[in-house]
Amino acid sequence: AGTIMNSSHTPLLVWLYGAFLVQTLTPGSSTVQFQAQLGLTRETAFQILHKLRAAMVSPDREPLKDHVEVDEAYIGGKRPGAKGGRSTEYKTAVVGAVEVDADRFGFGKPRAGRVRFRVVEDVSQESLEPFIKDHVAKGTVVYTDGWEGYNNLRKLGYDHRPEVEGVPARAGVILPVIHREFGNLKTW
């Protein structure tokens, strides 16, 4: 009673195994994987996974700090009759931020720390700034691409370090960690 398992008809052992899987699988777990591993219906797997993820979020979590990569992406699949290419007509705009180790371009693969995502109406400055204010501590070194929606970050108290890459396909080179996180989000 009073837990995420309240009123559930799913056995406690399945909940505990599900919690173990969510905590230990590095790239996360999709509903389909979760369903197969626990022998559940798709709807039950989705509900349990959703409740476990929500329970893992601390309401008093501290903002991201030190070094943070921020970028935006459009999430969504192909739809019948949709335009090809980078059409955003049937996709959802998402902004993301991830803490990274200070030596982003040293030897070895840059490591991700804590991650935040938010669905936004569009990728304008009016949509991006509230996300950054809510999730990134002032004074943090913030790496972004050259998108104009981030132009005001220095005035807001961040050590903004925009990097411009003329070829959009190479955006993952200047912001490798957040692009890896967006890849994981799209996989989920």
Specify the pLDDT at position 128.
Answer: 92
Average pLDDT of span 16-23:
85
Question: Which range, 47-56, 110-119, 127-136, is most confident?
Answer: 127-136
Specify the pLDDT at position 140.
Answer: 92
Average pLDDT of span 56-77:
82
Q: Is the pTM of this model over 0.95?
A: no
On average, the pLDDT of the chain sits at: 82
What tens digit of pLDDT does each residue of 92-118 get? 889 999 998 766 555 567 777 888 898
Specify the pLDDT at position 5.
Answer: 84
Comparing 164 with 51, the larger pLDDT belongs to 51
Question: DSSP string covering the chain, please?
Answer: --STTTT--S-HHHHHHHHHHHHH-TT---HHHHHHHHT--HHHHHHHHHHHHHHTS-TTPPPB-SEEEEEEEEE----TT--STT--TT-EEEEEEEEE-S-TTSSSPPPEEEEEEEE-S-SSHHHHHHHHHHHB-TT-EEEE-S-GGGTTTTTTT-EEEE---SSGGGHHHHSHHHHHHHHHHHH-
| Statement: residue 82 has pLDDT above 70 | no
Specify the pLDDT at position 18.
Answer: 87
Specify the pLDDT at position 112.
Answer: 76
